[in-house]
Amino acid sequence: MLVDWPRALGGPEAHGVLKLSPEDFRVDEEFSVDFSDDGEFDWLWVVKRGNNTDYVARRIAELAGVPVKAVTYSGMKDRQALTRQWFCVHLPGKHGRDWGGVMETSEGAEGSDSSWWRVERFGRHRQKLRLGSHRANRFSLTLREVDGDTAALDRRLQELAKGLPNYVGDQRFGHDGGNIEACLQWFDQGGKVPRFQKGLYLSAARAYIFNSVLARRVADGSWCEPLTGELFSLRDSGSVFQAEVDDEIRQRMAEGDIHPSGPLFGAEGRNGVTADVAAFEAQVFAEHRVLCDGLKRHGLKMERRSLRVIPKGLDWQHLPERSLRVEFSLPRGCFATALVREFIDA
């Protein structure tokens, strides 16, 4: 059920391969921590290769002898990547654990690379690490076997530095869109699903509806233009506000200070879109009634997500052997693959 969502700048300018090895997809949380050197929490700066965040959290819990719920993190990171992120372990007492030198390696299947994770530094803190605490992620992506016009790629990347559609990445929907299929079946047949799968299905459903709204606005060119009744998103903050579309709003949009927003579906709250935007989104909701009704039944409330994202520090370098390295930062919750799909078919 995966969809090839419409692109803002037309088809990709080239073909290439992403994630030929985990080192080709590097992600670092941008999160500065000042340890209090006391409290009940050990914070661990972990680099991992070929492991997902949930797996590492479970292994940390086992090593610390605590329940899995005692280990927290700010964001999920890709498995097929080389990533660095913070984990937090609730360990009451006067002293935390010495995490120096902690590392685990597992060999892959025949012909595949090994996976591993290790603690690079750690400290004691009185504050718990909560989901969504970091502000951004820094990406360094290397694309291999690139086949396309170099000048055209450069022009496309220059355009993307001004902003791109903030699609939720395909990884949210599972292999071949399996999370959406499973969610539809669950909503239709009812019953209980494990807590972790429940979270995946609900998140996938909201993402699918959001992408459907964004796709319509990309197709008609309004994804980066203000419409009547818009809820505007402040850049990188997640805060939204409603305002009449005037010259000031258009100027702030042009400068990238604010963006139009789209729905993370749920029951309507006090503030919602109106006029043209409300009518537009209602059409999409009607097309996905099973997902919308299911999300309401499970108590989700309407939230908003920016339709546009502007990468920070976007830079690229053409490398030998038909390779291209692209580096940039995105706010948390935004997907590097949303940028990649706009300039290359990988």
Active-site residues, by number, are 78
**Phi, psi (degrees; rounded to nearest 5) at 125:** -145, 150
**What gap in Å lies between CA 272 and CA 270, rounded to an integer?**
7
Instruction: Confirm if 273 and 305 have CB atoms less than 8 A apart.
Output: no
**What gap in Å lies between CA 316 and CA 334, rounded to an integer?**
19
Secondary element (H or E) of residue 304: strand 303-306
**What gap in Å lies between CA 182 and CA 12, rounded to an integer?**
31
Show the beta-strand stretches assigned E in 70-173.
Answer: 71-73, 82-90, 103-106, 115-125, 136-148, 164-165
Helix locations, the chain, DSSP H: 53-64, 150-160, 178-189, 195-220, 247-255, 275-287, 289-297, 336-343
Neighbouring-strand partners of residue 329: 138, 312
Quick one: how far is CA 21 from the chain centroid? Answer: 20
- With tokens 């903050």, the residue in question is 237
- With tokens 């996938």, the residue in question is 204
Neighbouring-strand partners of residue 307: none
